[in-house]
Amino acid sequence: MKLKIDIATNNFKHGGGTERYTLDLVKGLNRQNITPAVYATKFDHSIPEYALIEPHLVDQHRTLKKLRSFLFSSRLAQTRKNSAAKLIACHHADYADLLICGGTHLGYLHHMAQKPNLLDRLAIRRNRSNYATAKLIMAHSHMMRRELVGLYGVPPERIQVAPPPQIRNASFHNPEKLPTCAPNTALPTMKPFSCSHRPATRAKVWNCLPTFSNIPACPSSSPLSAPRFPAL
């Protein structure tokens, strides 16, 4: 039987972080003659990858913007209620067969030494629900794994670690082709921060792609071998 995959994401377009991750995943599955169904709140119809998917709109246009991420999972469940496919969650979703974890909200607050406000508490509650109902979680670092286990009580056996590559769209076999800074470039002084937990920066961390039932979906530019996950 042909493997059927649903992918949940926020915005299907060219971009960084989970947006690029989703597009790479779609292209990797397509090379294996699998057309995934993508559930998103927005689609860019002009990009080439749009022709490689079966699009499904998760309609949130009547939901207040600040509440959309918290209500995405319930809207997703309504939209895909007739689907029997495996679910890869690249956005906040419950009952995922594989949940992509690029950062935890409790970890972010801890590293930034911040006290939670109301929206933070909602985000933490959303995290707990997503992690508790996921069959497998792909963490992007061992630190992320420790946060999932220590802060959220996720059983270690349900977590796989797949570190992201350090550089994207660069030739790892030709170091001389890597981009260099202009001479005498003055870089601004910045306060130390955790790249994995600041929302504005963790979105730029490139992700490695998982392999589902021996499907080689890892991007060709990644210097890492394709991580192997238990069959979904």
The more confident residue out of 6 and 230 is: 6
Q: Which of 20-24, 30-34, 54-58, 189-193 comes out lowest in average pLDDT? A: 189-193
Please state the rounded mean pLDDT for residues 110-136: 95
Give residue 18's pLDDT. Answer: 83
d(CA 174, CA 17): 25
* Domain-wise residue ranges, the chain: 5-202
Q: Which of 230, 229, 231, 206 minimizes the C-alpha distance to 219?
A: 206
Give residue 174's pLDDT. Answer: 53
Give residue 177's pLDDT. Answer: 54
Q: CB under 8 Å, gap of 24 or more: what pairs does 158-162 form? A: 158/134, 160/136, 160/210, 160/227, 160/229, 162/138, 162/207, 162/208, 162/210, 162/224, 162/227
d(CA 159, CA 175): 33
Fold of 5-202: Rossmann fold (3.40.50)
Give residue 102's pLDDT. Answer: 83
Give residue 176's pLDDT. Answer: 56
Q: Which two tokens stand for residue 168?
A: 């994207």
Residue-wise DSSP of 198-223: -HHHHTTS--PPPBSTT---S-TT-S
User: How many Cα neighbours within 13 Å face the side chain of 88?
Assistant: 25
Which residues make beta-bridge pairs with 160?
138
Give residue 163's pLDDT. Answer: 74
The more confident residue out of 206 and 157 is: 157
Q: CB under 8 Å, gap of 24 or more: what pairs does 124-128 form? A: 126/69, 126/70, 126/73, 126/92, 127/152, 128/152
Give residue 158's pLDDT. Answer: 97
- Is 0.75 topped by the overall pTM? no
Q: 182 falls in which pLDDT band (50, 70, 90)? A: low
Please state the rounded mean pLDDT for residues 106-122: 93
Q: Say which DSSP state 181 is in.
A: P
Give residue 217's pLDDT. Answer: 43
Q: What are the b/e assignments for 171-181, b being 16+ CB within 10 Å?
A: eeeeeeeeeee
Q: 61 falls in which pLDDT band (50, 70, 90)? A: confident
Give residue 16's pLDDT. Answer: 81
